[in-house]
Amino acid sequence: MEYQKEYAVTMRKIGKGKYQYRQKYPDPLLSTPDKIKLKVATVVLTKKTSQAWQQARVILKKKIAAKMSANETSSITLEQLKDYYFDYLDKQDKINKDSKYQSHYIYKSHIKIFLKDVDSSIIIENLTTPYFKRYFDKMLETKSWSYTNVRRAALWNMFDFGLGYGYLNFNPLQNFRLHKLETPQTDLNIEDKYLTDDEYHRLLTEFKKRGRNDYVDFIQFLYYMGLRVGEGGSLRVKDIVKIDGKYYANINGTLMKRHKSSGKRGEFKKKPGAKSESSNRQVYLPPEAVEIYKRHDLGRKFLFVKKTTKNPIEAGSINRYLKRIAADAKINPDKLTSHIFRHTHVSKLAELGVPLEMIKKRVGHSDSKITEEIYYHITGKARSSFEHQIDIFSKNSKFK
């Protein structure tokens, strides 16, 4: 903007140990050479020293430059977009009052690492799909696919933010796919995805031996309902509703906890919205699950809590306990994860002949390869057993 002038930085005290530095600038959308419409950029610091003044000038200059170049999409750098995106996330966290939780912390961490790995002054619109393919292929040499995919998702969301707010003309990751190396599935490793009846009862016995009826009830509830641990852990009494004499759980969120960097541990909240659109659902409670629900309807914030800390039960604690008791339960520890109860629920419904689409709706999977693999494996075994029974029937009925 040719008619832009630089205004002086001013300061005022706004609270104990807090000083607001302000600088006016012409609104790039409303100002004309004949009529300047002013806006104000601000930053709050804890000091009013000369060094603080200098720091404020640098920060304000950066903020104003961001506002003035909002429509200059062809020259924005990774570093600039990161600043805009982080500022946006901070505002969202403040609105949602969950800045200390994991919702944005992980994405921020991955973006910071990415900017250290590459040149942060790269012009984003010069980036290409092959550039990211080389970067992520190299990353996969030392990192897991899951960890690498979080980095991809973090960058994709930052670029999508830039596209939505007019900083970019396109998302450079839009056509990029992070391909996962698939390993051929066999009957053996499919069976490792769910528990047999005997394994399931052995696990519950080991939890009970250790006096952990809190885990016993929670695990049984997951098993009866086909829930993810985060879905079950975030349940509150008000999420269970009674309709025409039957009980249903409204699954509409997941468990979120404070990140360890916040300095506080053990604080949890329910994050609205389940894992995907299909995950938001209403799930019927069989009588056994209703009994468990009624035992835990004690007016607490969360339905299921650990008896030791009174914190909600989450995936980390379940996984650690499973590894600890695997040997005593005589089960391969690699098989035991918090998802296994959900997968076992799928296997039991498949044994009962429940249609695949109904199973998917119950467990909140619109498209899940593992659900389909378990289903077809179980129904395949049932078909073989059925064919064997037909053989016996025909042999015994043969006319002689």
Confidence of residue 9 (pLDDT cuts 50, 70, 90): very high
In a 3-state reduction of DSSP, which class is residue 127?
Answer: coil
**pLDDT value of residue 45:** 94
Alpha carbon distances (Å) from 319 to 19, 323, 338: 47, 6, 6
Q: Residue 187: its pLDDT value, please?
A: 45
Segment 287-342, tens digit of pLDDT: 999 999 999 999 898 999 999 989 999 888 899 999 999 999 999 988 998 889 99
- Nearest Cα residue to 272 out of 296, 254, 292: 254
Confidence of residue 280 (pLDDT cuts 50, 70, 90): confident
Residue in this structure with the two tokens 């002086």, named with its chain if needed: 8
Average pLDDT, the chain: 84
3-state secondary structure of 74: helix
> Within 13 Å, how many C-alpha atoms sit on residue 325's CB side?
22
Which residue, chain included where needed, has tokens 């016993």?
216
Token pair of 94 as six digits: 């403040």
**pTM of the model as a whole:** 0.59
- Tokens 């690498």: give the residue: 148
Q: How far apart are CA 83 and CA 160, in angstroms?
A: 14
